[in-house]
C-alpha cells in the first residue's frame, strides 16, 4: 500500500537529504493496524524521479516498510508528490491553474494537456470531497466553469492540505484513477502525520 506523508519540506530539500530524511515511525501498521513493534520493518528504498516547477529532475528515495503480520509492503510517499506523476503536486496544480486562468504555461504541452484532462475528469470526485466536508455546492454541465470553481476552492484550502485531506476519499486520491485496490477502503483514511 501507499502511505502519504508530509515531511514538511519540499522536493529539493528531500532530495538533498536522501536517506537521511526523517521517515515516519509508526506505532501501528498502516495496513492491518496491528502493533508495529516486532512486525513492521524497514525494507529498503526504491528510487524515483521528482520534477519541480523549473523542470529540474531529482532522483529521490522512497522508503519501504514491510509488515510481517499482514505481509503488506508499504511505501512512504512524500506528500509533495502524486502517485505515478513525476512533477510535484504544486507544479501540476499550478500549471493547470495558469491554463484555467488563460495564462501562458511553460513546460511540455502534451503533459499539460494530460494533466488538464485528468483534472477535469476528476471534477466529480473533487466535488464529492467538498460536499463530504460540508460545502453545499452544485455541479453544472459547464466543465470549464466547474474546473475554475474547484481550482479556486483547492487554492483556498491550500494545495497540500487539500491533497492530504482528500487522500483516500472514495478510495481514491487527487489526480488518481477512481478505483485503486491498494488503498485501504476506509472513508477519509489518513496515515499519521
Residues in contact with Zn ion by CB under 5 A are: 29, 31-32, 34, 67, 69-70
Q: For helices 89-100 and 159-166, what crossing angle results, to 10°?
A: 110
Q: Find the shortest distance in angstroms from Cβ 31 to Zn ion.
A: 4
Residue recorded with cell 492530504: 164
Q: Which is nearer to Zn ion, 24 or 107 (CB)?
A: 24
Q: Find the shortest distance in angstroms from Cβ 187 to Zn ion.
A: 20
Q: Which is nearer to Zn ion, 14 or 26 (CB)?
A: 26
Q: Which is nearer to Zn ion, 33 or 114 (CB)?
A: 33
Q: Are 28 and 34 in contact (CB under 8 A)?
A: yes
Q: Find the shortest distance in angstroms from Cβ 37 to Zn ion.
A: 12
Q: Find the shortest distance in angstroms from Cβ 165 to Zn ion.
A: 24
Q: Which is nearer to Zn ion, 49 or 189 (CB)?
A: 189
Q: Are 172 and 180 in contact (CB under 8 A)?
A: yes
From residue 64, alpha-carbon distances to 9, 138, 150 in Å are 19, 41, 34
- Cβ contacts of 133 within 8 Å, gap of 6 or more: 165
Amino acid at each position: 500500500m501507499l502511505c502519504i506523508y508530509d515531511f514538511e519540506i519540499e522536493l529539493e530539500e528531500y532530495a538533498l537529504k536522501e536517506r537521511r530524511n526523517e521517515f515516519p515511525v509508526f506505532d501501528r501498521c498502516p495496513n492491518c493496524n496491528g502493533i508495529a513493534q516486532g512486525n513492521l520493518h524497514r525494507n529498503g528504498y526504491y528510487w524515483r524521479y521528482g520534477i519541480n516547477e523549473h523542470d529540474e529532475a531529482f532522483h529521490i528515495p522512497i522508503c519501504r516498510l514491510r509488515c510481517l503480520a499482514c505481509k503488506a509492503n508499504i511505501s512512504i510517499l512524500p506528500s509533495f508528490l502524486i502517485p505515478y506523476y513525476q512533477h510535484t503536486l504544486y507544479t501540476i496544480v499550478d500549471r493547470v491553474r495558469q491554463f484555467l486562468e488563460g495564462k501562458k504555461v511553460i513546460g511540455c504541452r502534451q503533459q499539460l494537456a494530460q494533466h488538464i484532462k485528468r483534472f477535469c475528469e476528476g471534477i466529480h470526485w473533487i466535488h464529492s470531497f467538498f460536499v463530504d466536508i460540508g460545502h453545499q455546492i452544485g455541479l453544472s454541465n459547464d466543465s470549464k466553469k466547474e474546473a475554475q470553481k474547484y481550482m479556486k476552492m483547492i487554492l483556498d484550502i491550500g494545495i497540500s492540505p487539500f491533497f492530504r485531506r482528500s487522500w483516500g476519499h472514495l478510495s481514491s486520491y487527487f489526480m488518481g484513477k477512481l478505483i485503486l485496490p491498494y488503498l485501504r477502503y476506509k472513508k477519509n483514511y489518513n496515515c499519521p502525520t
